[in-house]
Amino acid sequence: MNARLKLIKPTNQNRSVHPTRPPNAELRTREHLLPAEIDKLIAAARKHSRYPDRDATLILVIYRHGLRASEACDLEWSQIDFDTATMHVRRVNKNGKPATHPIRGDEMRALRKLRRDTIGPYVFTSERGSPFTPAALNRHIKRLAEKTSIGFQVHVHMLRHACGYALANAGHDTRSIQDYLGHKAIQHTVRYTELSPVKFKDFWRG
């Protein structure tokens, strides 16, 4: 044995493994918000946000048009036609279908007000004037939801699901909802109509 060699004490440390994120089913019993919960989220934006008009309009537009986070972040004023009260929705999914959506009166008034206060091509921007990133938008919605009595953790995609379920509960057919949400395959839309109570509306009637 080489006399110049010596044993060195190991410096390894046993580290605890961080727990993995719990499944969604443990965080909440459903993956969509109800219309009343959308109203609570908008109310929280008006009460607690530094930019209440922007955030209330942001929530309303995502919900009404079933936008994904990246679609809301990329939304430009050129997609909104104030003369015809319509919005051209570009879907980020490569197989997604674009569509032209009507804009209701309350939404149109909110967008007009926001347009007067916004500089640049994007509808929803940060205080620096740059568009939101999807991750920042998700954190923002999560923080606003914590100011409400919703009672479970909320993420921004739940607003898109809320749109689909609201349309199904209003009795709209699956094909129309598919086109509205820009789904290429109808199986992505069926989840909304499967849970709709509309198909049972005549049960227990004499």
Q: Mean pLDDT score of the chain, rounded to an integer?
A: 88
Q: Which residue has the higher pLDDT, 103 or 97?
A: 103
Q: Is pLDDT at 74 greater than 90 in this prediction?
A: yes
Q: Which of 63, 165, 180, 192 is catalytic?
A: 192
Does 192 participate in catalysis according to the annotation?
yes
Confidence class for position 197, pLDDT limits 50, 70, 90: confident
pLDDT in tens, 132-160: 999 999 999 999 999 999 999 999 999 99
CATH 1.10.443.10 fits 30-194, yes or no: yes
Neighbour tally for 124: CB within 10 Å: 21
At 67, which amino acid appears? L
pLDDT tier at 35, thresholds 50, 70, 90 = very high
Q: Report the share of the chain in percent with pLDDT over 70.
A: 84
Per the residue annotation, which of 94, 116, 128, 205 is the catalytic one? 94
* Residue 86 scores a pLDDT above 80: yes
Q: Give the list of residues 6+ apart from residue 138 with CB closer than 8 angstroms, or none.
A: 69, 155, 156
> Rounded to an integer, what distance in angstroms lies between the CA atom of residue 135 and that of residue 85?
30
Phi, psi of 103 (to 5 degrees): -115, 125
Choosing from 157, 172, 188, 191, which is the catalytic residue?
A: 157
Q: Is it the case that residue 128 has pLDDT exceeding 60?
A: yes
pLDDT top residue among 69 and 194: 69
**Domain extents for the chain?**
30-194
Residues 69-84 have a mean pLDDT of 97
Tell me which amino acid residue 64 is.
Answer: R
Question: Any catalytic annotation for residue 94?
Answer: yes
